[in-house]
Amino acid sequence: MKVMISSLSLALSLAVAGPAVAAEQKPAASTAKAAKPTAADAEAFIAAAEKDLFDYTVEASQVNWVNSTYLTEDTDAMAARINAVGTEKSVKYALEAAKYKDVPGLSADAMRKLDILRTGLVLPAPTKPGAATELNQIATDLQSQYGKGRGTLNGKEISGSDIEEQMGNIERTPTELAEMWTSWHDNVGAPMKDDYARMVGIANEGAKELGFANTGAMWRSGYDMSPEDFAKTTERLWQEVKPLYMALHTYTRWKLNEKYGDAVQPKTGPIRADLLGNMWAQEWGNIYPLVAPAGSGDLGYDVGELLTAQGKSPLDMVKIGENFYSSLGMAPLPDTFWKRSMFTKPADREVVCHASAWDVDNKDDIRIKMCIKVNADDFTTIHHELGHNYYQRAYNKQPFLYLNGANDGFHEAIGDFVALSITPQYLVDIGLLDTAKVPSADKDTGLLLRQAMDKVAFLPFGLLVDRWRWGVFDGTIKPADYNKAWTQLRTQYQGIVPPGDRPANAFDAGAKFHIPGNTPYTRYFLARILQFQFYEAACKQAGWTGPLHRCSFYGNKEVGAKLNAMLEMGASKPWPEALEAFTGSREMSGKAMAEYFAPLKTWLDEQNKGKPQGW
């Protein structure tokens, strides 16, 4: 997952790196009854909070930028200090906002801003003595345990990053894959279980102080609808794309059976999780060579080779990305973007190379941080990251608390849907590809299947991670059943199972970073859905009439104007209004994704004739 750093997201997401911990409060010396707060008090509180957070996030962004681009013990310490301040502010303002939420006479704007402050936390600690310290210690330890995690390969210790790489190596045997999967889940997940359960209890107390039934309900309250309605919405979206996933699952299972035989992967039932090229079976692209249709997967060109042939540099690649947005009528990036961004890895120091987009001053100091290489992946990533930057700049005139996406799925979806536009025709339009070398329609099956192995395969996993946590937070999943429920949900939604029986004390959920890292996950599911909805809307506005996956809206200023109108709204309005501004619909829908992959679905159905579906 790529990263986006914006002002509000920085202020409120610092609680992800460490829990949102409230200062331990002592009883007030005075017993005088406090006056009931008024709407005017709430407005004054909001104004003061926005001013304070605006100023803080500028300094915090600058410090974190230096830390990311000059990694030293000193800059690590500086970042830790400034981020701790942000955590304290987030907690203070969330608790204060909770006091005003039921004040009569509040304007819609005030209520929206109070909700943003109140729901921006991830792990709220209650104010009782000792709770904040304990929650902080547990959350820190869980992340540390994950970071230090090790598994084994052929009996030898191997790091988590090496395991991730080797799980995608299709030359590994089923025995080796099972060993890596099992050792990682046993060594990393199981030791966390008791601490995780304790952390859930403390966070739930904190959520109740903020006015929520539990922490899961608090997470689901940030979507302009009730927690119950949001859960129903995500399930509806899943049902709209489930037939596509089921077809992909059936086809992939059959190919794995052909590769490994009945003893390893039967023709019926769930797929063994360790055979899908990814530690969590969340994306299957690494095993594409095992499922690729003969011939049709070969495009006939490679974007990286096209760039190299024309002598394009990393900076040239960014200029090409900017040109895409300029073609839509958007203003050029500011001079500071070119002076202050990090485009390539410096030779003289350590940096964080993971691609990210930054909004440093809440105005127009937007940047990207990458270690760009001249290849197809980084070409796509540049288009994606710039999507964040143009979103950040578009909403920069909004009040501080609205400097964010319409919901947490929007920001990722903007960059993703623009990246979908890197079609052969777009490459022709920008002079990278010769018209005579545009792949013919018979290549589409391979193209779409390769995309589906990541984008479609991810959907049920993107949904179930938080489905499991919601049950943990509301108590319907007890600690004794943590692993049983995790395995059941993975089987129910993904149709996968562990490579072997799991012990009673297993905690397989803990082997996925976002669980010990306490990062809400539904945002990634929403982004996968929304990117296709945005893409379909843009293609309709551009008058495209061909197959959806071949559409390019490059150069269409009508699309750019409508897109910018949505981006400018930031988080100022409920997300259905932002969605309607661009797509004409107030409802998130998986139908556009189904339409995009419709040719593949037809092909899969033909391949799957006579083969069992489901598990």
Residues in contact with 86: Cβ distance below 8 Å, sequence separation at least 6, in sequence order: 10, 11, 14, 56, 57, 60
* pTM, 2 dp: 0.90
Average pLDDT over residues 496-515: 95
* Residue 8 banded pLDDT, cuts 50, 70, 90: low
Task: Tell me the pLDDT tens digit for each residue of 281-313.
Answer: 999 999 999 999 887 667 778 899 999 999 999
Neighbours of 168 (CB within 10 A): 17
Q: How many CA atoms lie within 13 Å of 201's alpha carbon, on the beta-carbon side? A: 10
Stretch among 158-167, 245-254, 459-468 having the lowest mean pLDDT: 158-167
Per DSSP, the three-state class of 194 is: helix
Task: Tell me the pLDDT tens digit for each residue of 450-487.
Answer: 999 999 999 999 999 999 999 999 999 999 999 999 99
For 62-109, the three-class secondary structure string (H helix, E strand, C coil) is HHHHHHHHCCCHHHHHHHHHHHHHHHHHHHHHHHHHHHHCCCCCCCHH
Percent of the chain residues past pLDDT 90, beyond the cut: 76
List the chain domain ranges.
145-194+225-608
pLDDT over 70 (residue 19)? no
Q: Is 385 a catalytic residue?
A: yes
Q: What per-residue confidence (pLDDT) applies to 27? A: 39
499 with 177: CB under 8 angstroms? Answer: yes
Task: Tell me the pLDDT tens digit for each residue of 347-364.
Answer: 998 888 888 999 999 999
Catalytic residue among 96, 179, 322, 385: 385
For residue 429, the one-letter residue type is D
* Sign, Cα dihedral of 137, 141, 142, 147: positive
Q: Which helix (H) or strand (E) holds 156?
A: strand 156-159
Terminal CA-CA length for the chain: 29
Catalytic residue among 185, 383, 514, 549: 514
Q: Which residues are annotated as a binding site for Zn(2+)?
A: 384, 388, 412
Residues in contact with 504: Cβ distance below 8 Å, sequence separation at least 6, in sequence order: 483
Q: Which residues are annotated as a binding site?
A: 223, 384, 388, 412, 523
Task: Tell me the pLDDT tens digit for each residue of 33-65.
Answer: 567 899 999 999 999 999 999 999 999 999 999
Q: Is 606 a catalytic residue?
A: no
For residue 418, the one-letter residue type is V
* Residue 141 banded pLDDT, cuts 50, 70, 90: confident
Tell me the average pLDDT of the chain.
91
The residues with which 356 forms a beta bridge, in sequence order, are 3, 369
Q: Which residues are annotated as a binding site for chloride?
A: 223, 523
Instruction: Please tell me the distance from the alpha carbon of residue 521 to that of residue 122, in angstroms, as a whole number.
Output: 12
Instruction: Please tell me the distance from the alpha carbon of residue 266 to that of residue 289, in angstroms, as a whole number.
Output: 20
Which of 1.20.272, 2.40.30, 1.10.1370, 2.120.10 is the CATH number of 145-194+225-608? 1.10.1370
Instruction: Please tell me the distance from the alpha carbon of residue 278 to that of residue 184, in angstroms, as a whole number.
Output: 12
Residues in contact with 394: Cβ distance below 8 Å, sequence separation at least 6, in sequence order: 564, 567, 568, 570
